[in-house]
Amino acid sequence: MDNRALIEEFLNYLRVERGLSANTLEAYRRDLQKLTAFAAKREKELTTIEREDLRNLMMIMKQEGLDDKSISRAFSAIRGLYKYILREGLSKQDPTAYLEARKAWQTLPRFLSLAEVETLLDQPDLSTDPGLRDRAMIEVMYGTGLRVSELVNLKLGDLETESGYLTCFGKGSKQRRVPMGRVAIDFVKRYMPARMRLLDGHSSHLLFVEKGGRPITRQRFWKIIKDYGRMAKIDDVTPHTLRHSFATVLLENGADLRSVQLMLGHADISTTQIYTHVTDERLKSSYKKFHPRA
């Protein structure tokens, strides 16, 4: 069943089974047309829409100037549609589950300015082995956009320092190669003697290690970043903040969305499109600040 036919079937159900008025049905139709247009642009069926798609749709509606009440009403119509789809057995998953409309459009990714990144990078004590390691980890994460799990699981053999690439395994064990910049490579090379000292006679296949060769957990690196963020007087810094900052700075400097999608390892480009909302907001902010007719 195509998207438009599914919408009409749902509206007919509302008319016959729920006894909704013609005006209410027309309001539902208008709201659901936004969903079908969004799905058509992404060449998706309504039954394959995911939660992240809906989050992006609501952010787009916010960008287009719809007020909170209108977006909430549209989300209510969309939620009703997916309850119907689930009940009819047309899909086994409800993308509206655990998704709160207001939070979806109010939580753009947190990212750091270039000045904040520099301040954060200045915090590790490079006279110590853990400080060298931490600086190298932050440089790699900001320079490649890796997820924290991908970063802490990097192996020595995953780096190609001569060609400037690294290989990582993302969600679903999907492998990808990501370019790594000169600065990140330089700090990894500076860290290698410190790594040997941290190993203290033990062995490990992991690139980044704790004292005695123990692996660095995701939770441990999270704490490391939070601590440096407090030292730098930057609020709410997390490993994911660096990933967001990586994507944002690329798009702001002209990278195409598809390339950023590949580097981030997103299965669906609609997930990557959330960063275009960030750059659009910054563009709008600059316009309002500097244009005399804004």
108-124 pLDDT per residue, tens = 567 898 999 999 999 99
* Helix, strand, coil percentages for the chain (3-state, nearest 5): 65, 5, 30
Instruction: Give the active site residue among 103, 171, 189, 211.
Output: 171
Has residue 66 got a pLDDT over 90?
no
Tell me the pTM: 0.63
C-alpha span between 280 and 161 (Å, rounded): 35
Question: Region 223-247: what's the mean pLDDT?
Answer: 92
To the query of whether residue 275 is one of the catalytic residues in this protein, the response is yes
Has residue 101 got a pLDDT over 70?
no
Has residue 104 got a pLDDT over 70?
no
Question: Region 75-79: what's the mean pLDDT?
Answer: 91
Backbone angles phi, psi at 68, to 5 degrees: -60, -40
Q: What is the dihedral of CA 199, 205, 210, 212, to 10 degrees?
A: -40
Instruction: Give the active site residue among 62, 135, 243, 244.
Output: 243
Domain with CATH 1.10.443.10 in the chain: 115-285
Q: Give the CA distances from residue 189 to residues 50, 162, 201, in Å, rounded to whole numbers and listed in that order.
A: 41, 11, 20
Instruction: Give the active site residue among 147, 191, 195, 244.
Output: 147
To the query of whether residue 243 is one of the catalytic residues in this protein, the response is yes
Cβ-contact 61, 70 below 8 angstroms: yes
β-bridge partners, 160: 165
Q: What dotted CATH number matches 3-106? A: 1.10.150.130
Has residue 228 got a pLDDT over 60?
yes
The strands making up 159-160's β-sheet, listed across from edge to edge, are 159-160, 165-169, 175-179
Please report, rounded to a whole number, the percentage of residues in the chain having pLDDT higher than 70.
90
Question: Region 111-140: what's the mean pLDDT?
Answer: 96
To the query of whether residue 291 is one of the catalytic residues in this protein, the response is no
pLDDT digits over 150-204, tens only?
Answer: 999 999 999 999 999 999 988 777 899 999 999 999 999 999 999 999 999 999 9
Instruction: Give the active site residue among 73, 155, 240, 277.
Output: 240
Least confident of 2-16, 41-55, 60-74, 217-231: 60-74
Residues with Cβ within 8 Å of residue 293, at least 6 apart in sequence = none
Q: What dotted CATH number matches 115-285? A: 1.10.443.10
Question: Region 260-282: what's the mean pLDDT?
Answer: 75
C-alpha span between 146 and 53 (Å, rounded): 22
To the query of whether residue 240 is one of the catalytic residues in this protein, the response is yes
C-alpha span between 29 and 100 (Å, rounded): 21
Cβ-contact 179, 220 below 8 angstroms: no
The more confidently predicted of residues 285 and 14 is 14
Instruction: Give the active site residue among 28, 142, 228, 275.
Output: 275
Domain with CATH 1.10.150.130 in the chain: 3-106
To the query of whether residue 214 is one of the catalytic residues in this protein, the response is no
